[in-house]
Homo-oligomer: A and B are copies of this chain.
Amino acid sequence: MKEKQQNILIIGAGLCGSLLALRLGQRGYHVSVYEMRPDLRKVDISAGRSINLALSDRGIKAMKLVGIEDKVRSLCIPMHGRMIHDKKGHTHLSNYSGREDEYINSISRGQLNALLLTEAEKHKNVSVYFNKKCKSVDFEKTTALFQDYNTKDQFIEDADIIIATDGAGSVLRKSYFLGKKFLFSFSQDYLTHGYKELSILPKENGDFKTYKNALHIWPRGTFMLIALPNLDGSFTVTLFLSYDEGEYHFNNLTTEDTVLEFFQKEFPDALALMPNLIDDFFENPTSPLGTVKCSPWHYKGNTLLMGDAAHAIVPFYGQGMNASFEDVVIFDNILDQKLESWEATFAAYEKTRKKDTDAIADLAIDNFYEMKSHTANPMFQEKRKLEMLLEEHFPDDYASKYALVTFNENLGYREAMLKGRAQDKAILNLLVDGNISTKSILNGDDSIDMTKEDLKTILEKIKQETEAILEEDKIAGLH
């Protein structure tokens, strides 16, 4: 495969497509990227998606790969933990890790996307075309049909390979599905909850109205509100709520009075920071939350799905962008193997990668329940406190499921899921059975009179129980 002479067509210049173009440009390929929206560096557009995102270690590993870690860090606001708000407005901070250097970062989707595009275009062999909407892909001929947004002209582009990074509504994926040329496994699963973006604006002096370095959560069992900080002093707030169940739901929040009543009752401290609530609420759309999985991702050596186009996930683990960035890292690893053909390359990539994107999709659903409900559950809180202590005192010996997923970028999502779930099960069962006691942790004032020796014993019990659970599952799961 004479890779340097290959023409690669990328559909979609979002976060994944821009990074992929940059990396393939660095590798010397001739890359053309077609994006349906205008250039977000010139026109003030919403990318149609969430305004800010959580960048963590898997994403940062990708930034390191393309050499822009420092530039990206300058766009980040570290979030060290979850700031939990109860109904009375009381708060407590639950760290993401007991290790100081483990935190996640709030970053603007637009700013990061702009940076990636600019870096990609520095390569002469990379061209990005905006306002060109992909209408369909002929995966047998390796051509794509586009329409220019301004002139309405349609044109066909030919390439050696086409990689679609065109997001959850991928045109290539639709062509696979409707084409019926091969057995295409596909799923779209919606939660019964939707989401709506709101905002906490900065103070008049530009300061943040509430604590900056945390991901704020107002967990209410069957629904929740969250907030992530932006560099301009604002917070992007998101309400996750059922469409049609419970006392308040999106379908019955139709008047100003009802919305105010709902926030007054459930999120009074947030409401106090949101004089703009009503405008936001009725101007912004309510959007669905869905998971997309499919297989195969590629058709022969012609076309390949990557990023959300291949595996759209719900946002509750803050891993959507990170997973898409990691796709590029894994694909880059496969390219290093210099396999004999694009077909072999695509097949090896999917074989390596799909088990992990399936896992993060399932983990993200798990975290939906954890965030909206378990964060307010005393036993869950006890478990988290214990895990923080273990991570603090035995930083090399213990990592929670959250840490395995978020901060262990060299461990695949699937391994992280299997180990993390077994660990969670071990801790919860040990706590319930009274086999480990953490009473001293729960003095109310969070004072710790547990000795390191006590903790060491607890850690050993957790490890043994985790191993036993994994072994029993292995024996039972003969396949």
Residues of A within 8 A of B (CB): 183-190, 243, 288, 290, 293, 369, 373-374, 377, 380, 421, 424-425, 428-429, 432, 472-473, 475-476, 478-479
Contact = CB atoms under 8 A, between A and B. Distances in A.
Contact of A478 (B189, B243, B369, B479): B369
A184 B374 CA distance: 28
Nearest to A465: B472
A476 B190 contact: no
Contacts of A428: 475-476, 478
B187 A183 contact: no
Contact of A374 (B183, B424, B429, B478): B478
A429 B476 contact: yes
B190 A380 contact: no
B188 A476 contact: no
A107 B415 CA distance: 45
B188 A425 contact: no
B472 A425 contact: yes
Contacts of A377: 478
18 contacts: A183-B190, A183-B288, A185-B188, A185-B190, A185-B290, A187-B188, A187-B189, A187-B293, A369-B479, A373-B478, A373-B479, A374-B478, A377-B478, A421-B476, A424-B476, A428-B475, A429-B472, A429-B476
A402 to B, nearest CB: 15
For the complex of A and B, the 3 pairs showing the least CB-CB separation, nearest first, are: A187-B187, A425-B476, A369-B479
A314 to B, nearest CB: 13
Contacts of A243: 183
Contacts of A380: 478
Given A185-B189, A187-B293, 4 more contacts: A373-B479, A374-B478, A380-B478, A421-B476
B479 A432 contact: no
Nearest to A188: B186
Contacts of A472: 425, 429
A369 B478 CA distance: 9
Nearest to A178: B178
B429 A475 contact: yes
Contacts of A184: 188, 190
Contacts of A475: 425, 428-429, 432
Nearest to A472: B429
Contacts of A288: 183
Contacts of A293: 187
Nearest to A431: B475
A184 B243 CA distance: 14
A370 to B, nearest CB: 8
Contacts of A186: 186-188
Contacts of A183: 190, 243, 288, 290
Residue among A373, A374, A380, A476 with the highest chain B CB neighbour number at 10 A: A476
Contacts of A374: 478
Contacts of A290: 183, 185
A290 B183 CA distance: 9
A230 B293 CA distance: 40
Contacts of A432: 475
A179 to B, nearest CB: 14
A93 B237 CA distance: 64
A251 to B, nearest CB: 12
A425 B470 CA distance: 12
A298 to B, nearest CB: 14
A463 B473 CA distance: 18
Contacts of A369: 478-479
A418 B478 CA distance: 17
A384 to B, nearest CB: 13
